[in-house]
Structure 1
Amino acid sequence: MLDDFLIRAVLAGLGLALAAGMLGCFVVWRRMAYFGDSTAHAAILGVALSLAFDLSIYAGTIATALAVALLVSMLTSRGHAMDTVLGVIAHSALAFGLVAISFVPSARVDLASYLFGDILAVGRSDLLWIWGGSFLILGLLCWRWQNLVTASVNEELAMAAGIDPRLERLVMSVALALLVAIAIRIVGSLLISAMLIIPAATARRFAATPERMAAIACIIAALSVLAGLWASLRLDTPAGPSIVASAAAFFMFAQVFRSH
């Protein structure tokens, strides 16, 4: 019989896979990979603030991720280049987070778990947060699905159809903030963007419609979780990186498969 910690790890990973698979499609379509990376790196600052003020890790990372999204929007509206703004914020937030977390004695031992994840240490209360956040992300994306797809394809077309692209970007920012919060315990801040991008990029090779791509991306993300956990247990490797490595293996297989 499977151990309880492994069952919790599988459930946590599948919860992440559902949200990351669908949200990752929009990240790929809108070319927001660097934005997702910046938000994920900023999560370390949220972890530091949460530990310093004895707050929930999830609340701290959500608040920080949303603050980063609003800061990016404000700076880009003032004429700054998007890639420059994201580069400054991503590295600055990560650096400040690592410095701040060094002043929290209880976090010194657990720093690696926030950077690379520790899915095998997920508890029952974490599962509630992960699945609750995942369903919230899925509900948000399904509610705005058509508007998000239209705005992702062509913002001018979206405006002609009466859709406000700024509102859809805000929806994406909120969804990304939630995803970062639920994923940091599973794959860590340094690997979150990989779980967003790799399954979606793999699914793109096999899908003819946005809906099919989202479904395939969720399946690939779920298979990556299962394969990564299996490899972690058999080879005694870190679980988070093993999950991302499995996703990368599926991506490489897809390139070979589609080239023949």
Structure 2
Amino acid sequence: MLDDFMTRATLAGVGVACAAAPLGSFVVWRRMAYFGDATAHAAILGVALSLSLQVSIFAGAVAVALAMALTVTLLTGRGYAMDTLLGVLAHSALAFGLVAVSFLSGIRIDLMAYLFGDILAVSRGDLAVIWGGAALVVALIGWRWSALLTSTLSEELAYASDIDPRREQLVLTLALAITVAVAIKVVGVLLIAAMLIIPAAAARPLTRTPEEMAVTAALIGGASAVAGLRAAYVLDTPAGPSIVCVAAMVFLMTSVLKGLRA
């Protein structure tokens, strides 16, 4: 069954949706959309370093994405606004990554595949990395779910409950770095933030509890992956962007539904 490239692509898309859904919910609640985008942009530098050092692209992307997120966390409040830091670091990392890729001699690289994804070229090994990373993210978020919710609701309440908000921020940072690394092959660095944010935002009007939102976001993300791949196959359009387009249409429908209920 896994010899069929569409089957592998579908499983990859669903795997990324499972990783992005619970994390994306916290990104929406904490208004960290640009933070996720910046971390994703940094991953292209990780790809370049991985290829030059001949190490796993997953490991390189995780390391650089994590370094970016930690740098932003440490520098915030030291004279620079969060959005300014994110803008500088995100675009700088992307630019340095693209320049670094151009210096790689003797290595053939399809840059567009890393920018916009190449889900149809997912291999069995890629599937193992994607689902392994997704399982790790889900386990990590599930382990810290209550503490993450408390620190998201109020830092004062978190301290009163003997929870360190900075530690929970680091948990989210690690989960974000892993998600970025596993999603590169599916939607590319330029669309990773969309898969984090759009399914979660689409699920918000349909749910009443945080747990319901995370599960619904996973269902919307998985359905968007399946429908987007089908549309790409029929219409001969890019697979990664097609998946995001389907998720965006679901968001539009849930927003309209919310408006009608109001």
Give 1:95's aligned residue: 95
Q: After the TM superposition, which residues 19-168 of structure 1 pair with which residues of structure 2 at under 5 Å, given as runs? A: 19-105=19-105, 109-168=109-168
| 8 Å CA contact retained: 2:2, 2:8 | no
The one-letter code of the counterpart of 1:215 is: V
Q: Distance in 2 between matches of 1:51 and 1:109?
A: 9
The alpha-carbon distance between structure 1 residues 77 and 13, as it changes in their structure 2 partners (threshold 3 A), is same
Q: Distance in 2 between matches of 1:257 and 1:104?
A: 50
Runs of at least 5 residues in structure 1 that lack an aligned partner in the other structure: none
Structure 1 residue 5, shift from structure 2 partner: 0.6
The alpha-carbon distance between structure 1 residues 74 and 258, as it changes in their structure 2 partners (threshold 3 A), is closer
Q: After the TM superposition, which residues 165-204 of structure 1 pair with which residues of structure 2 at under 5 Å, given as runs? A: 165-204=165-204
CA deviation digits over 1:34-64, x for unaligned, max 9?
Answer: 1000000000000010111111110000000
Q: Percent identity?
A: 62
CA deviation digits over 1:183-222, x for unaligned, max 9?
Answer: 0000000000000000000100111100000010000000
CA RMSD, 1 decimal: 1.3
My pick for the range that moved more, 226-235 or 105-114, is 105-114
| 8 Å CA contact retained: 1:46, 1:60 | yes
Structure 1 residue 250, shift from structure 2 partner: 0.4
| 8 Å CA contact retained: 1:102, 1:108 | no
| 8 Å CA contact retained: 1:147, 1:163 | yes
Give 1:234's aligned residue: 234
| 8 Å CA contact retained: 2:134, 2:179 | yes
Aligned to 1:78, what secondary structure does the other structure show?
coil
- After superposing on structure 2, the runs of 4+ consecutive aligned residues of structure 1 that deviate more than 6 Å are none
Q: Distance in 1 between matches of 2:199 and 2:107?
A: 31
Structure 1 residue 80, shift from structure 2 partner: 2.1
Aligned to 1:80, what secondary structure does the other structure show?
coil
Structure 1 residue 78, shift from structure 2 partner: 2.5
Q: Distance in 2 between matches of 1:248 and 1:199?
A: 8
Runs of at least 5 residues in structure 2 that lack an aligned partner in the other structure: none
CA deviation digits over 1:11-46, x for unaligned, max 9?
Answer: 111110111111100000011101000000000000
Aligned to 2:49, what secondary structure does the other structure show?
helix
**What TM-score, normalized by structure 2, do the two folds share?**
0.96
The one-letter code of the counterpart of 2:153 is: V
CA deviation digits over 1:135-188, x for unaligned, max 9?
Answer: 000000000000001111111111111110000000000000000000000000
The alpha-carbon distance between structure 1 residues 138 and 2, as it changes in their structure 2 partners (threshold 3 A), is closer
**What TM-score, normalized by structure 1, do the two folds share?**
0.97
Aligned to 1:190, what secondary structure does the other structure show?
coil
| 8 Å CA contact retained: 1:203, 1:220 | yes
Aligned to 1:237, what secondary structure does the other structure show?
coil
Q: Distance in 2 between matches of 1:124 and 1:81?
A: 43
| 8 Å CA contact retained: 1:101, 1:108 | no
Give 2:245's aligned residue: 245
The alpha-carbon distance between structure 1 residues 64 and 14, as it changes in their structure 2 partners (threshold 3 A), is same
